[in-house]
Amino acid sequence: MSKRFVRLALCAFGFALAAPAQAPQMRTRLLTSLTNTEIEDYLKRNDIIFIPVGNVEVHGPFPTDCEYVGPLAFAEKMAEEADGLVFPYLAYFFPGGTVVGKGTVYVTPEQGLAYIKAIAHSLLRQGFRRQIYLTDHGPSPQTLSPLVREFFDETKDPILYIELGTLMRKAHADFNKVLFGAYSVVGRLDDIPLNVTQVMPDHPRDASLEKLQSLGPGSGAIGAYFGDPGEHGGLAKPITAEQRAAYAREGVAMIEATVKMADIKGIVQAMRDHDKFTQEVILPKYGGILPK
């Protein structure tokens, strides 16, 4: 056997050892569609769960749960990328000023925070230390930012909140087309109606809001309601089934490009590194004075 062949073989062997192991194929990533045995088997190798958080509100031409379906689609794609699971059905949280629409379900930030924090504690006890919460709804920080801060103070487990709108802007994704793609990813594209036309009636407009809302974070600057439900999400315009399918294909590609750009594996590794620093450096040094 030549020395050159031996060197090549050793290099190939070393590369095989260094290459990351492929995640086992799973029949689904949805926690609620797995059996308990499957979940326990998963937790033997990993501890990542993606939690899409949405709201139900008037949203122009889209079904009222579109701002839950969007994060759900991203969660499914991210879970495949990072070998995580997905915690579904968290669709009813603070909507904001769209409460003027009769399709909007209203839950206060305080009520939503108490509920989702209980779920976060349960997931940690179950073994999911890497929790990643996803939203693409403007008022969501009023619920999710207190969650990650208070939960960290209570448990010293650094869970993460990703605001998908920020990621999509960085990826130059079209939000409306992303919504078409999201419904396709979760198998519900037919829920987006065809050939619907809406007309917004004349209604009072509050010109002062443009000045006031720019002074703080989104809808967190000042309390306000929409003057008409049609102001949120725009009005529905007739589309054909072919257009809907084309928008969905474009949207799926945008979702996948955004997930790739985000580097989910790198994000999870950064969470692990931050957790290790907290446990090994911060807690031994400052544990006596930190919030309990």
- Least confident stretch, 22-26, 47-51, 185-189: 22-26
170, pLDDT greater than 90: yes
Torsion of CA 162, 168, 169, 171, to 10 degrees: 120
> Do the Cβ atoms of 174 and 248 come closer than 8 Å?
no
> Do the Cβ atoms of 194 and 241 come closer than 8 Å?
yes
Does residue 172 sit in helix, strand or coil?
coil
- Least confident stretch, 116-125, 184-193, 213-222, 225-234: 213-222
Beta bridge partners, 52, equal 134
101, pLDDT greater than 70: yes
Query: Which CATH architecture fits 43-197+222-286?
Result: 3-Layer(aba) Sandwich (3.40)
* Overall residue count recorded for the chain in this entry: 292
According to DSSP H, which parts of the chain are helical? 3-18, 36-43, 66-82, 109-126, 141-155, 164-170, 175-185, 208-213, 241-262, 264-277, 283-286
Q: What is the pLDDT of residue 109?
A: 97
For the chain, the domains span 43-197+222-286
Average pLDDT rounded to a whole number, residues 34-44: 98
277, pLDDT greater than 70: yes
Which pLDDT band, with edges at 50, 70 and 90, does 21 fall under? low
8, pLDDT greater than 50: no
Task: Provide, rounded to the nearest whole percent, the portion of the chain with pLDDT above 70.
Answer: 92
What's the whole-number average pLDDT of the chain? Answer: 91
The separation between the first and the last C-alpha atoms of the chain, rounded to the nearest angstrom, is 64
What does the alpha-carbon distance between residue 108 and residue 93 come to, in Å, rounded to a whole number? 7
User: Which pTM was predicted?
Assistant: 0.90
Return the structure tokens found at 285. Answer: 């040094």
123, pLDDT greater than 70: yes
- Reported as a single tens digit per residue, the pLDDT across 125-139 is 999 999 999 999 999
DSSP codes of every residue in 64-128: TTHHHHHHHHHHHHHHHHHT-EE---B------GGGGSTT-----HHHHHHHHHHHHHHHHHHT-
Which H or E run contains 135?
strand 130-135
